[in-house]
Structure 1
Amino acid sequence: MSVPAPIPESAPTATAAAGLNESWRGRYASAVMNTFGTPTRVLVRGAGAHVWDADGNEYVDLLAGIAVNCLGHAHPAIIAAVTEQLRTLGHISNLFTSPAQIRLAETLDALVFPGAPQASRVFLANSGTEANEAAFKIARRHGGATRPRILALENAFHGRTMGALALTHKRAYREPFEPLPGGVEFLPAGDVDALRAALGSDVAALFVEPIQGEAGVQPLPSGYLEAARELTAAAGALLIIDEVQTGMGRTGAWMAHHLLAPGVVPDVVTLAKGLGGGMPIGATVATGEAAQLLGPGQHGTTFGGNPVAAAAALAVINTINKEELLKRVTELGDRWAAQLADVPGVTEVRGVGLLRGVGLTDTVGPAAEVAAELEQRGFIVNPPRPDTLRLAPPFVLADADADAFTGVLTDILTRRAAA
């Protein structure tokens, strides 16, 4: 694996920069819209799986920008690709194209639909929610006037823009912005009978995540994706798989559905997060009829597919291949999950590869409090549910860092259970 970038000599130290976190946080609260609350830390630099805050405190980043920084921070391959691209072209709009955009589209076609008999095509955007907006439009074009219904799953999260939000189940996210784009119905996740009953000739598409990340890293039951493909095909509906969080190697395969449901070929796959390794990029990849549904003027983006983001994505894919990181994700993920499952206070470890949900017993208190203690001890995680910690670290995470986290988590949960 590549050596992380060196730490700059000018980086702040704990003694020289003490108090800068609070100063920056105060300025943040005054200048930035309160959509996230005030962040707990102001991060100033990173190298590999480690980051430093404005006061010089070091953390092991086990969240990777919510499954984004798959190669860690300041990876030399991404730095080199972005720097070289910026020397030639940065932004050109989609009135023109670039070799980087074309190469990335060709690469994603082959990566998402390996060996598929039908042609596939890519729409490049800037984020996961935008990728799902494009997929929503594809579903609407497929459905037309005769197929107004779109199916999604309970506990789904597909984004926060209006179309993607209509596909997102959590009421707290949806209610402030209703009425949302209509026609979306939610089914119990993993319930094949409910899916069979809901599907009919008036359904345009079914949206699913192979592993529901915001629900606490909940994989769909074995056999569900296979049944979904069979039933949607029989009903003439599209199967759209959201791989925004699970794709690009996060589970140890390029796509989670390649691993969890081999042989299933969806109509549309959406990507983002790890695709750019930290650069903002999303992709909607469609095959067969679905690849032909959006025509000129029916969708667009100013920044999507720009040469810099495309170059970064190509560097991510090349590095994952070159450094055999899919194998690394599988081996570390399996070993770490087994280790974490033995920690007192842990009920189960869900997920695959390096996307894991660590379930906690009631005796150790809310996951948010545990996450806050872990941050104080130098580990960044997040609690997507009151009883779950989510781990989505860089693929370059060292064994020693994973082991250190297990030790600190054991200490925290043991002490909390005894309190």
Structure 2
Amino acid sequence: MSALFPNYARWDIEIVEGKGTKVIDKNGKEYLDFIAGIAVCNLGHRPPKVQKAIEEQLNKVWHVSNLFQASHQEGVAKLLTEHSVGDYVFFCNSGAEANEAAIKIARKHTGRHKIITFKQSFHGRTFATMTATGQEKIHSGFGPLLQEFIYLPYNDENAIEEAMNDEIAAVMLEVIQGEGGVNPGEDAFLKKCQQLCEKYGALFIIDEVQTGIGRTGKAFAYQHADLSPDIITVAKGLGSGFPVGAMIGKAHLKDTFSPGTHGSTFGGTPLAMAAAKATLEEIFQAEFLQQVREKSEYFLTKLNTELDNIPFVKQVKGKGLLLGIECDQDVSPFIEEIHKQGLLVLTAGPKVIRLLPPLTVSFEEIDQAVQILKQSLQSFAKVGL
């Protein structure tokens, strides 16, 4: 009998060991991991340089209060601001915490409280970020939500234009909606959101918790559309599995987060910063990001070619190594079969198979994954499911 709350619908797999793109369960079965902790292990499991950095820090100091000077944070903040349009960084422990900070600073900076988000978005499970999420299933059962969020259809320029006014504090969005279905934002729509924020004095917040830190082949996904957000939130891939999140903001927001306005006991600990620094130093190299783009193009081509004749597959979508196979039916049975064949994948809504391999995945491993996907999905096509 478990002493854990049953708030996770867990698969009957327990991972006990991992290295690179491969993991092993408690029964000794090996898998290709194309979940990577849900876009967390961007350098694969136990990347040597990150592991070494954490081990070295373990022999120095683990935790100090944020009341002390923090050169360990300064180094990571410099990497984040040098590779983004931001100027200042607040460190926390998760994507939800980073988005909480973004919501707080937007309301405080503008003196307004209305925030626009989008249907099928996902921004976290704290009360504010749950409310920001544009999915009823995330809201259900928790009573009155935080006021006041406005949910609009994604990629609808007319809807955002009609909703914007000088009462809006911020527009908050994902460049690619991950959990909501791997839904890429159209460049024209994204630019319209930014233009309207500039026109009405609202902040433009981009949630890069899943798409950031190299996942799409650039340091941040917003860079594909040549955007310039006021705030960028990151977490998942930032620490290679070590809990860490960050809110990156432009210079004009600096004085809004004055001493005492916000904080985090565990935000930016020496251990977290050691992991983040080693991770960013590897991922933010131009050659590394170029390789991600090349792997993505190869992966997309292989998926489109090999899955073309499977009748229930509608399309392959996404960017970089955040890809989704959209089907015309519930994919839960497919997931179970794919796992049995030695490939770990997950859903993005009821009808999308989400693929999130480590950014270090090899072309050979991509080939192996595509063959497992093809064989598994063909087995369902043959029985007419």
Q: Is TM > 0.5 for Structure 1 vs Structure 2?
A: yes
Which residue is equivalent to 1:63?
Answer: 35
- Choose from 278, 286, 305 the match for 1:315: 278
Deviation sequence 1:184-234 (CA, Å, 0-9, x none):
110111111111111111111010100000111100112111111111110
8 Å CA contact 1:121, 1:287 repeated in 2: yes
Partner of 1:318, secondary structure, is helix
Which amino acid is the alignment partner of residue 124 of structure 1? Answer: F
1:202 matched to 2:143? The reply is no
Q: Matched residues in 2 for 1:361 and 1:411: separation? A: 18
C-alpha separation in 1, matches of 2:5 and 2:63:
27
Give, in angstroms, the shift of residue 87 of structure 1.
1.2
Q: What does the per-residue CA deviation read over 1:65-117, in whole Å, with 9 as the maximum and x for residues that have no partner?
A: 0000000011111111101111111100211133221111122111121xx7x
Q: Specify which of 119, 125, 141 is matched with residue 176 of structure 1.
A: 141
Count of residue pairs brought into register by the alignment: 379
Q: Partner of 1:155 in structure 2?
A: 120
More divergent stretch after superposition (126-135 vs 35-44): 35-44
Matches within 5 A, 1:106-145: 106-113=78-85, 120-144=87-111
Q: Distance in 2 between matches of 1:247 and 1:37?
A: 26
Aligned with 1:353 (options 315, 320, 326): 320
TM-score of the aligned structures, taking structure 1 as reference length: 0.88
Change (3 A) 1:285 1:323: closer
Match of 1:413 in 2: 377
Q: Which residue of 1 aligns with 2:237?
A: 274
Structure 1 counterpart of 2:356, which letter? Answer: A
CA distance in 2, matches of 1:324, 1:92: 35
**Offset at 1:290?**
2.3
Q: What is the CA–CA distance in structure 2 between the aligned matches of 1:234 and 1:336, rounded to whole Å? A: 40
Q: CA separation in 2, counterparts of 1:367 and 1:59?
A: 20
Could you tell me how far apart the structure 1 residues matched to 2:375 and 2:113 are? 53
**Structure 2 length-normalised TM:** 0.96
Corresponding letter in the other structure for 1:127: S
Any idea what SS the aligned residue of 1:325 has? helix
Deviation readout 1:338-388 (Å, 9 max, x if unpaired): 1111213232111111000111244xxx31111110111110000122221
How many Å separate the matches in 1 of 2:209 and 2:319? 15
Alignment-derived partner of residue 340 in structure 1: 303
1:31-86 CA-partner distances (Å, limit 9, x unpaired): 21111034421111101000001111100000100000000011111111101111
Q: How does 1:346-385 map to 2 (within 5 A)?
A: 346-362=313-329, 366-385=330-349
**1 CA distance for matches of 2:19 and 2:274?**
20
Letter in 2 for 1:354: L
The separation in 1 between residues aligned to 2:139 and 2:156, in whole angstroms, is 23
Contact 2:341 2:376 in 1 (8 A): no
Tell me which amino acid in the other structure corresponds to 2:116. L
CA apart distance, 1:322: 5.2
- Equivalent residue number for residue 19 of structure 1: none
Is the Cα contact below 8 Å between 1:367 and 1:385 reproduced in 2? Answer: no
SS at match of 2:348: strand
Instruction: State the shift of 1:142 in Å.
Output: 2.1
Please give the alpha-carbon distance, in whole angstroms, between the structure 2 residues aligned to 1:408 and 1:34: 31
Give the structure 1 partner of residue 254 of structure 2. Answer: 291
Aligned twin of 1:265: 228
2:357 is aligned to 393
Contact 1:285 1:291 in 2 (8 A): no
Aligned-residue CA RMSD (Å): 1.4
Tell me the amino acid that sits aligned with residue 246 of structure 1. Answer: T
Q: Which region of structure 1 is more displaced relative to structure 2, 233-242 or 174-183? A: 174-183
- Residue identity matched to 1:53: D
1:375-415 Cα shifts (integer Å, max 9, x gaps) = 11110000122221000110111211111111121112222
Structure 1 residues 232 and 403: alpha-carbon distance in aligned structure 2, compared to 1, 3 A threshold: same
2:50 is matched by which residue type in structure 1? Answer: I
Identical-pair percentage: 38
| 8 Å CA contact retained: 1:78, 1:315 | yes
Aligned match of 1:11: none
Deviation at 1:321, TM superposition (A): 4.1
Q: Could you say which residue in structure 2 is the equivalent of 1:79?
A: 51
**Residues 214 and 284, structure 2, Cα contact 8 Å, conserved in 1:** no
Rounded to whole Å, the distance in 1 between the matches of 2:142 and 2:38 is 24
After the TM superposition, which parts of structure 1 deviate over 4 Å for at least 4 consecutive aligned residues?
A: none
